Structure formats: C-alpha cells, structure tokens
Structure 1
Amino acid sequence: MNFRKLAGRLALIAGSGFVLGGHAFAAPGDPTHGGEGGRVVRVTTLAKDGPGSLAAALATKGKRVIVFEVGGVIDLERSVLEMTEPYATIAGQTAPSPGITIVRGGIDLKSHDVILSHLRIMTGVDGQPKLSGWEADAFSTVAAHNVVVEHCSFFWAIDENMSASGPRFTGNSVDEWRKGTSHDIVFRENIAAEGLADASHPKGEHSKGTLVHDNATNITFYRNLWAHNMERSPLVKGGAQVLMINNMIYDPGHRAVHYNLMNLEWAGHDYVTGEITAVGNLMRAGNSTAPGLPFLTLGGDGDLAFYGKDNKAVDRWGNPEAMFGRYGVTNARLIEKDRPMASLDGYDILPADRLETSLLSTVGARPWDRAPDDIRVLFFVAEGRGEILDDEKVVGGYPHPAETRAPFVEKDWDMKTMTPRSGIYPGQKAGAQEKLTARDKAMRQ
C-alpha cells in the first residue's frame, strides 16, 4: 500500500470519525512494492488452513496480492503461521466488516518483499498454565528483509507484540551478520498493546512490546502506539540500527525505549555500537509505570550512539521525566550525536506535544471500522486508564463476531495503492466510534 496516497485521501478527526481529505503524513519511499502487479489471490474461508485460507494464500508462490472475501475471526488454535514465500501484498482493508482478526496464534514472517496491512492479531494465553511454554509473538520478522507492516493491531502476545528478529551471528563479519538477520523493515501506524505479563512464557513475566534483535538494521518505527507493555517499546539489541519518528509509548511498566548488548550473548565476538535516531516521540506514564521512568535506558556492555530531538517524557500528570537512565553497573556508553544517523528526508514530522491526538486518530487496523478492543485501548490511552494484563479474559477475552462475506471486485480498487476508487472502504462508518454499553446507547438516543 502506498502510504502517502492513502494518508492524503483519508484521515480520522478526533471525535468525528473517519472523513475524507485529512492531513497527509508523508513517508519516504518504502523498501518494497510487495506483490504489486501480481495475480490476485482470494481468501474465502476463516479456516486456519486448507483451500481458500490465509495460510494457503501466504504459501502461494509468486508475486501476488492477497485479498479477502470473508470477514471475521481466524482461529489458529495455538499455532503460528509461517510465511516463507516472498513478493506479497496482504490487504486486510479489502475484507468486509469487521475485517480479519487472528486469534490464538501469530505470524512469523521468514521472507522478503512483503506488505502487511490492516490485520488484527490477538494471541492470548488461552487458558494455558503459567510457565507452561506457550510463547508466541503476535507478529515477528525472522531474518526477513524489505517489509512494510502498516495499520495493524497486535494484542496479547506471550513474547513480543511486533518485532524484527533473526539470528544474532551468521557469517564472519559485521556485514554478514547484518545481512543474515532482519533488515529494511518499516513499522508504521500500528498498535502494539497489552503484552501479557504473568502468563505462559517459560521465562516468567513477559509483557513485551517490540524486540529489535542484535544486528538488525534499517528498522523504522513511524507513528506507532505502544500501550501497556512492561518493557521493550522497543528494546534495541546489540549493534542494531533503529529510526523512531512520532511514536507514542503509553503506560510502560519498567522500561520504555532501551538498549542492551549483553556480554552473555556476545561472548567471543567484538562488540558493535548500536544506533538509535529518535525524533518527536512521546512517552506518557500510566497506572503500571514505575515512578521516575526515563524515556531511554541503557543496559549491558555495548555502547549506544543516540541522536534525539524533540522527544518528550511525562508522568501521569504531565510533569517532565528524565530522558536517560541506566540499568546495570557497566561500562556501556551513551554516545550523543549532533546529527541524525538515519535520513529524515520526506517524513512529515509533528512536534511531540502535538502528536497524541493525531496518532490516536489513525493508528491500528481499519481506523474507519474499528474493533471494540482497539476502541477500548485508544480510549484508555486518551483518558489515562488501563494497565498491564496477565490474561486477555480480564478485558473480555477473544472476540466472536459473526462471519461476513462480500466479493472482491478488482475494478473497484486501485491495485497499486490498494485503495477503493470510490474513496469508501468496506465497513466505513460515519461519526465517532465508541464502545458503548446497552445503557450508554439508551442514554444517547
């Protein structure tokens, strides 16, 4: 999906719902065109596998655009979809309302040249005993490259909600290490929320937002929301290179942004300095946030080169918090740079103190047709509510919308941008989108 064209056509105005012709949040050229120009592959069933399934579409060889003629929930039954075939555009915006939600699992992307848009993934503990070993990410790239992940909603992961991962060391040089793991990944306009803490992960507490694994490079986070994750919003590991522009971190628990090259993991290898360029980001404490939590913390042994401009960190009441702190007594250095280490050319960058309302209006899957849990989290952020969870049941558990069906009519879509020629998306709603109780609805009539 071409984000510039989409954003130029469509925006959410806070309090008034989805409208046409809003502010354009421009982004520079993406690292891939995905499956543009390929054949159309239709998802026609909510079954977790078999003919017409999303799993079958992901496994299809060749350049392809994956569209949906069905809406509802795909239950992975505590399994993970692995995508190994390249050159695909996965267009969740084409599904009839309420769109596509994946539950009881996640996606591991082990390929290249993929665009993933407008899916919801809600992993969940699914009643598994604590420490029992169920440890799925909601979404992760695994040694993938040339990937765009945009307008998705990732909830209730047992490991990370959305990550760029892969092997730490492949080959005999830093260049080979970096080629052998995830690189050239863009995360844009996503929600990564409510990673589950005291759940089934074998390591114990594991409410995590995003991991950028060692030596992953050219990883970009633009206009994403992390909410109610204990740590990793994101965690940048040794030698990784990250660009963060106009992201919001709400209610981090013990750490927000942090960097850690661990000697225990790098033994026998020379350290590589990591890089973070961070501009116009906002961290706001919530009910689960440790008092005095800084925006960025440094752990481990390796050095971090850091460029920061117009980042803001505040407590629950809007009072300023520190920008930098440490965990661990080590020799790791914070090397402050006077210029960005990644290009900012082409980005439309808002000041941090103007970011929140803009971001909450547009992030997540299908902002014109929001799911109840997306609405709940966005309202919690706006109202300063919510907390880190141990179990999805605390907030109502998995959704169960009725299955819907509608044909995908190719002539009605711009197949380059994957936007409807009419300007009206499937399920597009007018006015404010709220999650109302029966009494709320009665009071508003």
Structure 2
Amino acid sequence: MANHDRRTFIRALGLGATGAVASTYATGSVAAATTITIEGAGYDIWNARDEFHYYYTEVDGDFDVTVRIDSLENTDDWARAGLMVRQTLNDDAEHAMIRKTPGNETSFQWRSDDGNDAESTTSGGTGEAETSGGTMQATWQRLVRSGDTIEAYGSTDGSNWTLIADISPGEIDFAGSAYVGLAVCSHNEGTLTTAEFSNLSGLSPSDNQDIGTVEVGGSVSTGSGDGGGGSGDTDPVVSTGSASSVDSSSATLSGGLDDLGGASSADVGFEYRETGGNWSATATQSRSSTGSFSEDVSGLASGTDYEFRATVAASDGDSDTGSTNSFTTSDDSGNGGTSGDGAYFDLSDGFASPSWFDDSVSVHRVQNATRSELANAVQGSGPRLVVFETSGTIDLDGDELEVTADQCWIAGQTAPSPGITLTQGLFQVNADDVVVQHLRSRVGPGDSGNIQGNDSFNSADGTQNVIFDHCTASWGVDECMSVGYDSTDTTLSNCLVYEGLYDPYGNGEDHNYATLIGDGADNVALLGNVWAKTRGRVPRLKSGTRSVVANNVMYFFNEATNMDGDTEASIVGNLYIPQDLEDTAIEGGNAYLEDNVTDPSSTPLTGGTSELSSRPLWPSGLSAMSSGDVESHNMNYAGARPADRTSNDSRIVSEIQDRAGDAYTDSPYDYWVADHEEVGGYPQLPENTHSLNVPSSGLRDWIDQWALAVEDPNASPP
C-alpha cells in the first residue's frame, strides 16, 4: 500500500499513526474474562510449509481482531503465538500472522501465495516494516482486514496501537472468505508449548486442529480466568527469567511480576526441581507493584539439570505460574562457566577479566553483515555490548578492522545460525578491556596486496585485559591468531586456529604460522585451544614473555612450542600430535613442565628447555584438566559455535580425529578463491536474521546463555 493510501485507510479507522482503533469490523468475541489456553507443537510456521496448532473460525470479508498474549512457554527462541489469517487449512497456505516469541519482540510475517517461502518484517520483507527493525515490545495484538489490505498492530496496553506493517494487494491476496484465529507453535518437534490468551475481541473461534504434520497433537481449553490486562478483577501475570551465579550447589533465580491483576499486593517466588522430580518452593516476597524479583537457592546437587518457574499468589486469591526454564549446576571442579555445561575454561580463568562489564553498557546491534556496520559498533567511546541480529560473511575489503572502543564485549554468539565469518582482513583489538566471542576470521590471500602480513585475529601492541574466547582463526597470511608486543593480561581460550597459508602470494614464501606472543607480553593465558595444520609457532613465545600454556591440542606441525632464551612459561596438560616434526615439540626458554604428552609417545617432547621446579606464573584458582581428557574436550568445545560448526571447522575437527589432512594449504592468488578443492574458497554464509530482546538487567547472564546455546547442543538460547 502506498503511504498516501495507507494513511487514508488509517484515518478511516479513526487513528493517527498511533492511537485507538475502533472495532469497525467485529465478528463476535469471546468474553474478556475468558482465558484461552492453547498447547501446540510443530517445527515452525515459516518457509514453504507450516506445523502448528490453530484455534479458528471462517470469516467472510473484513475483520478487526484483538487479543492479549498473557504467556508463552519458552520451548525455543522462535516458538510463536499470535493472531493469524489463513486462506486455507493446508500446511502451505497463504497467510499473515502477528507473532510473539519468547526470545524476540513482536513482529509480522506472511506467505504471499500457496507454497511460497514466508517473509517477515525482520527477514525478506523488511521494506514493509513501519517500526524500527520491524519489531516492537507488545503484549497485545491487532489484526485488521479492510478489502484486500491486511494490517498488523501491537500495543502495550490494548488502547494505544502502533502499526507494525501493512500488506497491500499484489503482495498478498486473500479470497473473500478466510480462516482467522490463534496460532501456536513450539518450534521444537515433539514438544508442546503452552500459550495463554485473554481479551479476545472481534472473533469467536469455533474449531481447532493441528496444521501440517506434527509429532504431538495440540489442544485448546478455555476457562473463567479474568485475563490479565483488562479492567476490574483480573489474574496476576508472572514471568520466569533466567538463572545466574550458578555453581555446584547454588543459583540465583530471576523472574518478573508483570501484572497484579487488580489486587493490592501479591506474593512472588519460585518452584524448582531436579528435571522430572518433585517441585520445591522458595521463600516468597510480598510486592505491591510490578517489577523484577529474584531468590537464591542452595543445597543443589553438582552437575545436575534443574527446572524452575516463577509463581505469584495475589491478595485477592488469584494466582499464576510462569513458564519453565532450566539450568545445570557445575561439577565440583569449579571450572566451566556459570551454566555448568559447555567448555571447561571460563572467561575469567586466565589473567584477563570481564569484571568491567555491567548492565550500564550501551547495546549496539549489527543488523546487516557489512564492514561499515560492524565498524560502527566496535569503534567509538563508552562501554558497550555488540550483538548480532544477522548471520553472514563480512568482507573486510582487504584492510584491517580495528576495535578501538575500550570496554567492548563482542558477542558473536547472539547471531542466528550459522553465525558471523570475517574474510579478507585482519580483525584487531586495539583497545583495553575487550571480549571477543564466537566469531570466525579467514583472511586468505585476498585479491590485492593490502593484506600481506595480516593475521586473522590479534591484539595490538600495549593492549591490556583482552579476551578472545571460542573464536576460529584460519587462513592467516602471517600468523592466524596472535598477541601484541608489550601487552598485559591477555587470554586466548577455547579457540580453533588452523591452516595458516603456506604460500599466500604465489612466490614460494614460507608462512603457515599459528600464534605468536609478541616481545614483552606479560600474563598471557592460552587455555583449551586447538592448533591444527600449521607449520610452526604453536605457539611462539618471544623474548621477555610470560605465558601459561594449558590443555591445548597441537596437530600436524613442523615446529611447535618455541621459546626465546629469556621466556618464562608454565606449560601444563597439553597434547602434541606431530606429523612432520624436525626436532622436539617444546624447544628453548625457561618453563615449568607438567603432564604434557605426545602422540605417538615415541615423539621427543623437549629439547634445550631449562625446566623450572615451580610455576613462574599461574592464574589464581585455575585447575588444569588431565592431558588424557584434553583431546575429547577440545574437539567438542573449541572454535566459534562448536554446537553449530560450519563445514570448514567440522572438516578440521574430523581430520584431527582421523589423523588426516594435507601438510600445507598452498594458496596462490590465481586459483585459491575459486578453485581450491580442499577449502572451497571464501565462505558465503546466508544472512539469516532475528530480532533480539536484550534485557535491561542481567546482561552478563543473558550473553552467557547465548554462548552456551552455541557451545552445547543440549542448551537453548535465553
């Protein structure tokens, strides 16, 4: 619809751009005091076919329907519930839907014709959006048909409405009669999600059924609950948040009291249990206003999966229970992060610390996979969190991209699958107090001489308190991932570093290096990494450096851990798997050596190293794994998104496990990008999008849960 025509239509309804819409097209309604509970399974309402549960009636002509969504169980970040108009009940039918999801704001989607892929205001159909990013915070939905035009609105109070999008004739064309109702999808095959609706107006559904082939049948029930948000006596509404500060025996549970339901006060708390067991209740708090709340629980069993849910009992006798969330206590080792699952090494296990990060940081969203948008996010002033609402390949155009904002946390884990890969340029941290997580960088030779000598990732000289965690660094033109000269407190943890280019310029120059620790770098921790298919510098610890090298896997090298004469290091629990070793795995320097092994064991371990009787440095509280556990652990957890690996990362892991692979990655300009059969040239990742609902509090726990979701296949996003 052209802007002029859309404004005319809005005026006909009695609105400005935002305002109260008159119920011009009412077709009947369910009493506002009725609560509608719908259980639905299904993989998705998206692409060319749908799977969900539908509560509907057939409507001839125009309609104007509103509803409040009181709750939606978080079975997946993209579970969804909302108002839908559908041409037929076939699984590939033309449709339009306002969708509310647990992990995202409210947005609008549609399928323009039977069998077409769906589009939305956040993916494919962004040009139709009338709100920033095509989304908005909304608990109320409104779907209006006038002639051949469909409009979607959202609201926080059911009175003032904001247009999300309008779909005009030509983009979508419904026949005179269509099915209108409430749709619910778990986005988790074989698992039901539960959605509660109230204040349904303009519609009286008469039928319900599963659409598409679902593994578990859905259902609909209605009751006399008062439906949160209306006037008079209504039910209270409580929402379940996340678990934080999780260790081996305790956790902090969070939730929110969203609505008192007309009561003067309410008691809020939590129920929790070992998964599948009996519920226990925490102490309760009395609240006279809405807002967030939390409770500590203790006496938990280590290494155990727990479920929890928020509860509220209002002073007028009404009550509510939030959706169920989960967490896992850590084992008794003390390592492994707040969730208890995922990698053994946490961000604070080295000398660097993310303690500067708190809820006061500004949030910078990368919504398009471009160099300019990423640069805008990581450069500037002020503490910040960088999140990604798109996946894709970001071409750095042959030049380095510097992170210059101090106190910058780059959370690549927030990108939708398959994540973010940088190509054709160094990504360098030239700032202090920086965390880089779950990004891939593949320099490659490029198409000009600008990137000669570049690493995939590195920290600049003189930087302090920098962490690279769960990153993939490959196809570097000099090294793949390195630490700057005279830097202090740097951690490389859980990274996958491989295939430095042996002949990147086609002139026979001998490169193919892994990691260099620059002269004078102090308090460097290299923990739980994998170096593979690089000729040397695995790692190279240069003059005056002081480093900890613990629980790493080194595969297919010619020269491995080399140290200069005045180097000091603690080298503990590493596995060296050489295929073409000239001398020994560890050479030179001054080092404390413990539990390092070679495979095969006949390979010599050390040569020319002055062995120290005690560790010259070691992070406080760190406990190393046994070398016998390192290969299995690192193969499962190293690199960007180990639960969602791209083909090249998976290839490297398989080659290590099979003790296979070519000795070098030869890459002259004239054939590397297009014709190299092994690496397949620069990746071109799909640009999938989602909208992130970034909380105003609990940010550290939120990004940790996103990290766990891409590190552990059994975990889910927040």
| TM-score over 0.5 for the pair | yes
> 1:142 maps to what in 2?
460
1:280 to 2:280 alignment: no
Amino acid at match of 1:126: G
- 1:194-217 CA-to-partner distances (Å, cap 9, x unmatched) read 000111299921111100011111
Check conservation: 1:5, 1:417, Cα contact below 8 A. Answer: no
The answer for the alignment partner of 1:240 in structure 2 is 545
Q: How much identity, in percent, do the aligned residues show? A: 28
Which residue among 389, 392, 403 is the counterpart of 2:687? 403
Residue 39 (structure 1) aligned with residue 359 (structure 2): no
Q: Secondary structure at the match of 2:391?
A: strand
Task: Tell me the distance in 2 between the aligned counterparts of 1:113 and 1:423.
Answer: 19
Structure 1 residues 278 and 141: alpha-carbon distance in aligned structure 2, compared to 1, 3 A threshold: same
Unaligned runs of 5+ in 1: 12-19, 167-180, 262-272, 299-303, 327-333, 432-445
Among 126, 129, 152, the alignment partner of 2:471 is 152
1:58 corresponds to 2:351: no
1:16-48 deviations in Å (ceiling 9; x for gaps)? xxxx86476255374333543301111111121
1: CA distance between counterparts of 2:428 and 2:533?
23
Is 1:257 the counterpart of 2:561 in the alignment?
Answer: yes
CA gap of 1:72–1:246, structure 2 versus 1, over 3 A, is same
Q: How far does residue 99 in structure 1 lie from its aligned partner after superposition?
A: 0.6
Q: What pairs with 1:208-227 in structure 2 (closer than 5 Å)?
A: 208-227=513-532
Residue aligned with 2:564, SS: strand
Structure 1 residues 238 and 202, CA gap change in structure 2 (3 angstroms): farther
* Contact 1:76 1:103 survives alignment (8 Å): yes
Partner of 1:290: 581
- The SS at the match of 2:376 is helix
Alpha-carbon spacing, 1:25–1:133, altered in 2? closer, same or farther (3 Å) = closer
Contact kept in structure 2, 1:133 and 1:200, CA below 8 Å: no
Matched residue pairs, number? 372
User: What is the distance in 1 between the residues matched to 2:328 and 2:356?
Assistant: 22
In structure 2, the gaps of 5 or more residues are: 1-243, 249-302, 304-326, 330-338
CA 319–429 in structure 1, closer or farther in 2 if over 3 Å, else same = closer
Is 1:193 the equivalent of 2:483? Answer: no
| Aligned-partner Cα distance in 2 for 1:139–1:60 | 20
Q: 1:348 to 1:417 in 2, by over 3 A?
A: farther
Deviation at 1:187, TM superposition (A): 0.6
Q: Which moved more, 1:406-415 or 1:237-246?
A: 406-415
Q: Do the aligned partners of residues 422 and 39 (structure 1) sit closer, same or farther apart at CA in structure 2, a change above 3 Å counting? A: closer
Q: Which residue type is aligned with residue 652 of structure 2?
A: V
Distance 1:133 1:84, change over 3 A: closer
1:389 aligns with 2:665: yes
- 2:629 is aligned with 1:311: no
Aligned twin of 2:399: 79
Higher-RCO chain (CA-CA 8 Å, sequence separation at least 6): 1
How far apart, in 1, do the equivalents of 2:607 and 2:689 lie? 52
Aligned to 2:427: 107
Partners of 1:230 and 1:426 lie apart in 2 by 30
> So what's the TM-score if we normalise by structure 2?
0.48
What SS does the corresponding residue of 2:434 show, helix, strand or coil? strand
Matches within 5 A, 1:399-438: 399-411=683-695, 414-419=698-703, 425=709
8 A Cα contact 1:413 1:421, kept in partner: no
Bigger helix share? 1
Partner of 2:484: 165
Pair 1:427–1:241, CA change in 2 (3 A) = closer
Shift of 1:127: 5.1
CA distance in structure 1 between the aligned counterparts of 2:652 and 2:245, rounded to whole angstroms: 26
Contact 1:34 1:114 in 2 (8 A): no
Deviation at 1:308, TM superposition (A): 0.2
Structure 1 residues 23 and 99: alpha-carbon distance in aligned structure 2, compared to 1, 3 A threshold: closer
Does the residue aligned with 1:229 lie in a helix, a strand or coil?
coil
**Cα distance change, pair 325–422 in 1 and its aligned pair in 2 (3 A):** closer
SS in 2 for 1:405: coil
Equivalent residue in structure 2 for 1:93, among 385, 409, 413: 413
Q: Distance in 1 between matches of 2:413 and 2:611?
A: 41
> For the residues of structure 1 that align with 2:459 and 2:475, how far apart are their CA atoms?
18
Per the TM alignment, residue 250 of structure 1 is displaced from its structure 2 partner at its CA by 0.5
Give the drift of 1:422: 8.7
Residues 270-327 of structure 1 show CA distances to partners (whole Å, capped at 9, x for unaligned) of xxx22011010010023xx236x412123xxxxx22100000122xxx232112235x
For residues 34 and 390 of structure 1, do their structure 2 counterparts lie closer, same or farther at Cα, with a shift above 3 Å needed? farther
Distance 1:322 1:152 in 2: 30
Aligned equivalents of 1:140, 1:371: Cα separation in 2 = 22
What one-letter code is carried by the residue in structure 1 that aligns with 2:481?
Answer: M
Aligned residue for 1:175?
A: none
Q: 1:160 to 1:335 in 2, by over 3 A?
A: same
Q: Deviations over 1:405-443 (max 9, x none)?
A: 111111399411343669973798679xxxxxxxxxxxx
Instruction: Show CA shifts across 1:46-88 (max 9, x none).
Output: 1211xxx111111131000000111111011211101222111
Aligned residue runs from structure 1 range 350-369, under 5 A: 350-369=625-644
Q: Secondary structure at the match of 1:404?
A: coil
Note if contact 1:414-1:421 (Cα within 8 Å) is conserved in structure 2: no
Bigger CA radius of gyration: 2
Contact 1:95 1:426 in 2 (8 A): no
Q: CA RMSD in A?
A: 3.0
Does structure 1 retain, via aligned residues, the 8 Å contact 2:342–2:712?
A: no
TM-aligned CA distance change 1:323 to 1:345, over 3 Å: same
Q: Normalising to structure 1: TM-score of the pair?
A: 0.77
364 and 421 in structure 1: CA distance in 2 versus 1, 3 angstrom threshold: closer
Residue pair 1:192, 1:209 contacting (<8 A) in 2 also: yes
Q: CA separation in 1, counterparts of 2:666 and 2:460?
A: 26
Alpha-carbon separation, structure 1, partners of 2:536 and 2:708: 38
Q: Alignment partner of 2:473: what SS?
A: strand
* Shift of residue 133, structure 1, vs aligned partner: 6.9
Alignment-mate amino acid for residue 43 of structure 1: V
Cα distance change on mapping 1:94 and 1:337 into 2, 3 Å: same
Give the distance between the partners of 1:165 and 1:230, measured in 2 at CA: 21
Change (3 A) 1:65 1:338: same
The residue type paired with residue 578 of structure 2 is A
CA deviation after TM superposition for structure 1 residue 126, in Å:
2.8
